[in-house]
Amino acid sequence: MDGQLVEKGRQDMRQLALRLASLFPALFSRENYGRLRLITSSKHRCMDSSAAFLQGLWQHYHPGLPPPDVADMEFGPPTVNDKLMRFFDHCEKFLTEVEKNATALYHVEAFKTGPEMQNILKKVAATLQVPVNDLNADLIQVAFFTCSFDLAIKGVKSPWCDVFDIDDAKVLEYLNDLKQYWKRGYGYTINSRSSCTLFQDIFQHLDKAVEQKQRSQPISSPVILQFGHAETLLPLLSLMGYFKDKEPLTAYNYKKQMHRKFRSGLIVPYASNLIFVLYHCENAKTPKEQFRVQMLLNEKVLPLAYSQETVSFYEDLKNHYKDILQSCQTSEECELARANSTSDEL
């Protein structure tokens, strides 16, 4: 079942839909139902997530009735858009310099053979009564993930959990964070810059809603739902300046990073979500004060990365991210620097 959505994942999405519909009743109103816009990655787990989310919404409108198949619901299937939801697959510079570069994850490999991991290897070898040379960091990770997955998916405690204690879990969490940091976060600039298209797309939708409201027109797409991956969200949050530590995460500063901000398990857990909420304020004194934005990460208010305020005038938010909105062109960011080749024309 590798890479597919399990029942627990479907349940998570249905319940998320129910919570969001309760949190934003005006947006998820019955009359807006037909105007919902859904975009998804081509991966089956994302398409299945979007279908489960729609079923959750259906339950919100028809409590007590079993939801029909998504194909039988009143609007068409979600639009697949990998350029937005899997931008990393379409960025040549990222693919060459990070994804397919054997040395890009140097710190991950170095940490695997470092003292913290060696300590776990010895402890686990003693517990299992096997020679320490029969074990390596990758096998330890498999055991740890087996413990995690059984707990998350089935709600049962695997016997593999017994070979680890809380300190081991913290080390293994750091190993995973190192990978996410260097491959999807602040490790390389291209990781986050490759997400500019998605960032700009979000603001184009917000701009359009502002424009329609100013012209007293109905909002054509009151709710836009985009289903992607943890690997879609982490670069985007890094692009916006969230969870940035003063020092990079490396193979050699585990103890120093005990209180780090970059904890991928808290930032992008299962069913993680980032929400931009645009508000129109009727009693605003100036045009600028009419439109405000609040962001939620995993359904909790996400203060602005630059001011710690919980809400911003839309204009101020756009101003802060002016460089990304105006100067970040994915085609340029993702282009590989090619050696200038001169050829004589014959």
Q: What is the pLDDT of residues 195-213, one digit of tens each?
A: 999 999 999 999 999 999 9
Three-state DSSP string of the chain:
CCCCCCHHHHHHHHHHHHHHHHHCCCCCCHHHHHHCEEEECCCHHHHHHHHHHHHHHHHHHCCCCCCCCHHHCCCCCCEECHHHHCHHHHCHHHHHHHHCCCCCCHHHHHHHCCHHHHHHHHHHHHHHCCCHHHCCHHHHHHHHHHHHHHHHHHCCCCHHHHHCCHHHHHHHHHHHHHHHHHHCCCCCHHHHHCCHHHHHHHHHHHHHHHHHHHCCCCCCCCCEEEECCHHHHHHHHHHCCCCCCCCCCCCCCCCCCCCCCCCHHHHCCCCCCEEEEEEECCCCCCHHHHEEEEEEECCEECCCCCCCCCCEEHHHHHHHCHHHHHHCCHHHHCCCCCCCCCCCCC
pLDDT at 344 over 60: no
**Model confidence band, residue 2 (pLDDT cutoffs 50, 70, 90):** confident
Least confident range of 118-122, 139-143, 284-288: 284-288
Q: For position 346, what pLDDT does the model report? A: 47
pLDDT at 34 over 60: yes
The residues spanned by each domain of the chain are 7-95+192-333, 102-184
pLDDT at 342 over 60: no
- What is the homologous superfamily of the domain 7-95+192-333 according to CATH? Phosphoglycerate mutase-like (3.40.50.1240)
pLDDT of 53-99, one tens digit each?
999 999 999 998 888 887 777 666 799 999 999 999 999 999 999 99
Q: For position 1, what pLDDT does the model report? A: 60
